[in-house]
Structure 1
């Protein structure tokens, strides 16, 4: 088996590389790895996939709670309107859909997708 170190420099061939040879090999390896190291340093830490971003988790929780709050508010208003007016289940259906739309609008506004002008329009 090759795990005895026969493929390592200076092993199995009888010659031991000098300190200068090893330093030269290390320098050449550093030059070859240089571009990859520079690209790794430029990449943002979040794209590396190491751990989670607490700011991203907080934003996701805020957006999801705004969406759910819109749906619950629409359901509650519709249910209350049906009880008071006796129009069951139509008020709840209408206001549930309005709550869904309001939740989507809140998420888009919080995410910064609303309020921007379309490209080409001023």
Structure 2
């Protein structure tokens, strides 16, 4: 009787091991799908950020150009010039955010006054 009981237990343990292996495999596949979905969401978030920076720079340039034309009477030149400047600023913002153009170094903002201070030149 104990032999039959041991055989039954061994058989149940094998079935349980097979089920556990199947569940673990499914969990790994699900984790892989979740990782791919997360990467996709990150890419979408970056795309939305870059596009909103670009569009907002153009809108600000156009709005400032319109206001300049309205109050200074320079129509249509203020709108044209500031719209183009807004477009350029939008492109520069996108390139900086994407890491294609480096941000301005703090020493360059000061005019480089401390560059050769230590070498006696």
Alignment TM-score, normalising by the size of structure 1: 0.52
Q: Deviations over 1:42-91 (max 9, x none)?
A: xxx76xxx897000000000000000001000000000000110011110
1:50-61 maps to which residues of 2 (within 5 A)?
53-61=40-48
Aligned residues: 69
1:84-95 maps to which residues of 2 (within 5 A)?
84-95=71-82
Q: CA RMSD in A?
A: 2.0
Detail structure 1 runs of 4+ shifted over 3 Å in the superposition.
none
Deviation, 1:115, is 1.1
Gap change, CA 1:79 and 1:113, over 3 Å in 2: same
Partner of 2:83: 96
Q: Does 1:65 align with 2:90?
A: no
Structure 2 spans left out of the alignment, 5+ residues: 1-34, 104-121
Answer 1 or 2: which has greater helix percent. Answer: 2
